[in-house]
Structure 1
């Protein structure tokens, strides 16, 4: 749900100015059998506030029940789709045990609903799509990206974890690419998202408005018709020679290790080999990140490999609440402070090294709640994202 780089470098000043209360944070429009959602906080890179979650849930729930609705489009105003969750909400609630409980619960239900939605959804993503913001894109049957799209899940860096269903999605990427993305917060561009199966189509940004018009004019949500129309505007992706998707063998070799310590050690050794200069800045970042956040994230993605969507969301919900309650560490608040509040970029992690993160503390933060306190989502329901990777360019081309 969180994003640290965008907030720190681009969004903090704007956020401090406040939101114009006259402007809705989400705009819902009805055109025939099509419904359009616009995330409408462009000055704030469309961060997800509690109000955003509530409105999105209300729109989607009502439209799923409406027999006249066939197709849902979602986009972001301005230069972002969504840069993730609103860090201020968490930081302001740090002294209240359950200040964020309701909004976290609502967000996880929204994630589940998007994954299992019964009607055709299309995300039009032309800009930042990070953390929880990307959870409004990746699970959809059709997720259209452009050359301006930037994706990342950088939560581990600030003592948080890969959330909003991304332990489930990352764990199903090829090899150990999921662990790599979750631990390093590495960015993917539009073509890389399509190649990896995290998006369905690449459309040049100048064609996106016209595609939107044609989708509205189509006025129906039949999958083959929607797919065929999008393909008229889409381009075949070409992965850059230096893309991390071309580093899969090295990523698998290093990120298959059992512990974060072993992963970093292996990655460090790989960085000394000729042609592996790309590792150096990523490794530098890893060593700066929250030790607690890294350990929770690795274990979460690993557990997700053997779990259903519902099980993953329940575990992520539990982890989120326990982290916000500082059950294992207060790193998430220190990370937000250092990178977005005081902006000194000098977080003081506690504990300050991987070796000091106790196994029993990790066990406690993963411990299931009593049944009535868990996230209540159905155990068995078709997940729209399952199998998406098998048809991706990555799978067929073996990049």
Structure 2
């Protein structure tokens, strides 16, 4: 068994050649809950491209070191970058990588034990086989800190049952492993005590045949249903509220429903919406709604524009204030600007959604297989501008 590469035993991503046909990718920032850094994105892309091009490779297993699969993007990286294009490199590379994660040609099994949030979950959800446990926690909390639901989730969430996608994106609500199985964000539930043995069986295999691998994972998996108190058992109410046409109307609907007997659970989410960035909420709702009518490449290009315009503080600096309050000073008292939903105008929203000129758009190699791993950051006008 050989460790490949650009990563040492202490690298943020460890790539291992287990045998002739099997490779293991390990996200290796356990103290940071495997948050995604610029180096993480670059190494993931490097390994995945190399292994997809290698005819000997048939199966790739992906896992996280420690108690998290990945808690998402490294917020401090964005905060330290400040307004402007200092994080352009990693943002571009992450969206480019998301396309390849959704369209990868080799069989992948993601072992999602512990936290899987935002960009971290974007690594696991597109896998043909995604294994979760009783300790898995999924969430997309970006809107609450002034970001938006990113890394392909305007595509993924907009295709969940009813208006569950809007609910998850706007409230940052968590789902456990059972709930992820129920809505299709994972394929298999395996009790955590069985996970080491399953991993060993996968690494000892010599095939990438999806049916064979599914059967192998089936041997360790359990049939599960959401618990009685799960929000998924309240989907009728969620659909009623989160089908409203604006964030303001969603909140009005939630308030009306929350006073009814049996709806006490809604109070928590109402409080969360009131604490969240008004700008982040409005951008996120529009992005999810647009996502229903968009292809994966269209969603990724849109999300790239949103991310860059938000980091450039085009209409608000809420993302930096949100990160400050959550991760830097940890006072949990952000001062949003604009302060209210009413102050976030349609005209300003149009600005952050406006298409870039063609040369500045995210480039995705989806038109021909021959250029599948082209359109990298280094080959764009952005790279030239950074010189």
TM-score, normalising length: structure 2: 0.92
| Unaligned 5+ runs, structure 1 | 1-20, 383-399
Deviation at 1:379, TM superposition (A): 4.6
Secondary structure, counterpart of 1:233 in structure 2 = coil
Could you tell me which of 61, 65, 69 is aligned with 1:81?
69
Could you tell me which of 155, 158, 166 is aligned with 1:179?
166
Could you tell me which of 54, 60, 75 is aligned with 2:48?
60
**Cα distance in structure 1, aligned partners of 2:10 and 2:55:** 29
**Cα distance in structure 2, aligned partners of 1:381 and 1:166:** 24
Correspondence for 2:289:
302
Correspondence for 2:78:
90
**Cα distance in structure 2, aligned partners of 1:379 and 1:302:** 23
Deviation at 1:377, TM superposition (A): 0.7
Correspondence for 2:336:
349
Could you tell me which of 78, 101, 104 is aligned with 1:117?
104
**Cα distance in structure 1, aligned partners of 2:279 and 2:314:** 11
Correspondence for 1:318:
305
CA pair 305-380 structure 1, distance change in 2 beyond 3 A: farther
**Cα distance in structure 2, aligned partners of 1:350 and 1:322:** 16
Deviation at 1:380, TM superposition (A): 5.6
Asked if structure 2 preserves the Cα contact closer than 8 Å seen for 1:116 and 1:381, the reply is: no
Correspondence for 1:287:
274
Instruction: Report whether the alignment pairs 1:126 with 2:122.
Output: no
Asked if structure 2 preserves the Cα contact closer than 8 Å seen for 1:114 and 1:136, the reply is: yes
**Cα distance in structure 2, aligned partners of 1:361 and 1:248:** 32
Instruction: Report whether the alignment pairs 1:24 with 2:11.
Output: yes
**Cα distance in structure 2, aligned partners of 1:22 and 1:208:** 22
Correspondence for 1:43:
31
Asked if structure 2 preserves the Cα contact closer than 8 Å seen for 1:158 and 1:335, the reply is: yes
Deviation at 1:128, TM superposition (A): 0.2
Asked if structure 2 preserves the Cα contact closer than 8 Å seen for 1:41 and 1:47, the reply is: yes
**Cα distance in structure 2, aligned partners of 1:176 and 1:195:** 15
Structure possessing the higher relative contact order (Cα contacts under 8 Å, 6 or more residues apart): 1
Could you tell me which of 298, 321, 333 is aligned with 1:334?
321
Shift >2 Å, 4+ stretches? 378-382
Could you tell me which of 222, 237, 241 is aligned with 2:224?
237
Deviation at 1:219, TM superposition (A): 1.4
Deviation at 1:22, TM superposition (A): 7.6
Show CA shifts across 1:225-272 (max 9, x none).
Answer: 000000000000121101000011000000001000000100111101
Asked if structure 2 preserves the Cα contact closer than 8 Å seen for 1:311 and 1:379, the reply is: no
Correspondence for 2:175:
188
**Cα distance in structure 2, aligned partners of 1:151 and 1:381:** 34
Correspondence for 2:196:
209
Correspondence for 2:250:
263
| Unaligned 5+ runs, structure 2 | 1-7, 370-387
Show CA shifts across 1:146-194 (max 9, x none).
Answer: 0000000000000100000000000000100000000000000000000
Could you tell me which of 369, 374, 382 is aligned with 2:356?
369
Deviation at 1:372, TM superposition (A): 0.8
**Cα distance in structure 2, aligned partners of 1:45 and 1:259:** 34
Could you tell me which of 125, 141, 147 is aligned with 2:134?
147
**Cα distance in structure 2, aligned partners of 1:134 and 1:125:** 9
Deviation at 1:218, TM superposition (A): 1.6
Instruction: Report whether the alignment pairs 1:167 with 2:154.
Output: yes
Q: How many residues align?
A: 361
Show CA shifts across 1:117-151 (max 9, x none).
Answer: 00001100110000110001111110000000000
User: Pairwise CA RMSD of aligned residues?
Assistant: 1.2
